Amino acid sequence: MFPRPIEQTSAPAQWLYRIAVPVALILWLLPLIGVAVTSVRPASDLAQGNYFGMPSSLAFSNYRDVFANSPMGAYMLNSFKVTIPTVIGAVALSCMTGFALAIYRFRSNLLVFFLFVAGNFVPFQILMVPVRDLTLHLGMYNSWYGLALFHIAFQTGFCTLFMRNFIKALPFELIEAARVEGVSEVRIFWYVVLPLMRPAIAALSVLIFTFIWNDFFWATVLSNSPESQPITAGLSSLNGQWIAQWHLVSAGSILAAVPPVAMFFLMQRHFIAGLTLGAVK
C-alpha cells in the first residue's frame, strides 16, 4: 500500500485524517454546494444581497418556474433523444469494429485501428464546417437525428479503441475452439464473443451517455431552436435571458447535471472501469 495505511499511524493522526477528508471534500465541492443552495433560494434573497448566507426559505418553486417559463422540459427531452440513440449506435458499431480488429490478423489491421484512435483525438473545429454543411444538405440540420448521427460516427473512434482492447484481453482459445467445430464467424461474434462483452458494453454505455449529454459544441453547431436543442445549448441561451436571475440559472444548471450524475451513481463501477481501462495494465 502507498501511502502507508492510516491505521498504522498514531491515534491523533488518524483522527486528524478522518476530519481532514470531509473538510477537503466540502471545500472541493463548495462551488457545487453553492449552486445547489442558490437553486432553492427565493428571488427576494438575491434582491436583498443575500447571495451566500442561509436562504430565508426553501424555494423549490424556482424549479417549477424554470419548467413553466422556459422550454427546459423540451431541452431535456431533446438531450435524451440525442443521447440514447447515440449510445446504442456507437456501442453497436464499435462491438463489430472492435471484434474485427481484435480477432483477425490482416495487413492493414493496425493502420485501421490507429485511424480510429487518431480520429478520436482530432479537434472538433476541423470537422465543423464540412459536417455542418453535410447535415444541412441531408436536411437534418436542427434535428435530433442529425446530431445523433454525427455523435455515433465520432464516438465510434473512442469506442473502437475501447472494445478492441477489451476483446484482445479475452481468451482467444474460445474462438479457436469454436472455429474447429465449424462455427461461422458471424455466429462466433454473436454467440461466443458478444456475451463476454457485457461489462464492456455497460461501461461504454455510461461513458458515452455522459459525454454526449454534456456535449455543447455540436449542440451549438448543429441545432438552433428549442425544438431540437439539447440542454447544454439550451442552458447557454437561457443564461442570456436570465440576466442576474441566478436562482433560475442555478436551478437550470442542477437540472442539466442530474441525469449524468444519476447515471454515474447508479453505474459507478462500470463508469470507473470504463474510464480507467488502459490506465493500468
Partner 1 sequence: MTDFWKSNQRRIAPWLFLAPGLFMFAVYVIIPIFQSLWISLYDWDGLGAKVWIGTANYVELWDDDAFYTSLKNNVIWLILYLLAVPAGLFIAIFLNQTITGMRLYKSLFFFPFVISQVVVGLIFSWFYAPDFGLFYKLIELLTGQSIAILADDRFVTYGIIAAGLWPQIAYVMILYLTGLNNVAPDQIEAARLDGAKGWRMLWYVVLPQLRPATFIAVVVTVIGALRSFDLVSIMTDGGPYGSSRVLSFYMYEQALSEYGYRMGYGAAIAVVLFAIMMVFISGFIWKMWRDESER
Partner 2 sequence: MVHYARGALALTAALLMTTAAVAQDKRVVKYNADYDPAPLAAMEQVIADFEAANPDIDIQLNNFDHEGYKTAIRNFLTADAPDLANWYAGNRMAPFVTSGQFMDVSDVWEANGLKDSLGSALASMTIDGKQWGVPYTYYQWGIYFNRDAYKAAGVDVPGPEGVSWDQFVSNCEKFAAAGIDCITTGTKALWPGAGIFDYLNLRTNGYEFHMDLTAGKVAWTDDKVRATFAEWAKIQPYVTKNHAAIDWQDAAALLVQGKAANYVMGNFAVAVFKEGGMTNDNLGFMGFPEITPGIARAEEAPTDTVHIPSGAKNVDDAKKFLAYLASADAQNKINAAMGQLPINKASTVADDPFLQAGFQMLSTADGGIAQFFDRDAPAEMAKAGMEGFQEFMVKPENLDAILERLEKIRQKVYQ
- Of these partners, partner 1, partner 2, none, which one is at the site of residue 268 (CB under 5 to 8 Å by kind)? partner 1
Name the minimum Å distance from CB 84 to partner 2: 25
165 neighbors 277 (Cβ within 8 angstroms): yes
For residue 280, give the 3-state DSSP assignment. Answer: strand
Among 1, 111, 244, 279, interactor with partner 2 by CB under 8 A: 244
Name the minimum Å distance from CB 132 to partner 1: 8
- Of these partners, partner 1, partner 2, none, which one is at the site of residue 243 (CB under 5 to 8 Å by kind)? partner 2
Name the minimum Å distance from CB 121 to partner 2: 28
Rounded to a whole number of angstroms, the CA Rg of the chain reads 24
The verdict on 49 binding partner 2 (CB under 8 A) reads: no
- Residues contacting partner 2: total by CB under 8 A: 11
- Of these partners, partner 2, partner 1, none, which one is at the site of residue 142 (CB under 5 to 8 Å by kind)? partner 2
- Of these partners, partner 1, partner 2, none, which one is at the site of residue 171 (CB under 5 to 8 Å by kind)? none
The H-or-E segment that residue 230 falls in is: none
Type of residue found at 276: T
State the cell numbers at 29.
465541492
CB under 8 A, 24+ apart: contacts of 134-138 = 135/222
The verdict on 50 binding partner 2 (CB under 8 A) reads: no
Stretch that binds partner 2, among 7-15, 175-183, 203-211, 219-227 (CB under 8 A): 219-227
Give whole-number Cα distances, 234 to 43, 206, 263, in Å.
Answer: 22, 22, 21
- Of these partners, partner 1, partner 2, none, which one is at the site of residue 225 (CB under 5 to 8 Å by kind)? partner 2
61 neighbors 248 (Cβ within 8 angstroms): no
- Of these partners, partner 1, partner 2, none, which one is at the site of residue 181 (CB under 5 to 8 Å by kind)? none
Instruction: Tell which residue, 85, 72, 74, 81, has the closest CA to residue 208.
Output: 85
Cβ-based nearer residue to partner 2, 186 or 243: 243
Handedness of CA 254, 257, 262, 264 (dihedral sign): negative
Among 42, 55, 119, 226, interactor with partner 2 by CB under 8 A: 226
Name the minimum Å distance from CB 120 to partner 1: 9
> Residues, the chain, total?
281
Backbone angles phi, psi at 277, to 5 degrees: -60, 125
Residues that bind partner 2 (CB under 8 A): 136, 139, 141-142, 224-226, 237, 240, 243-244
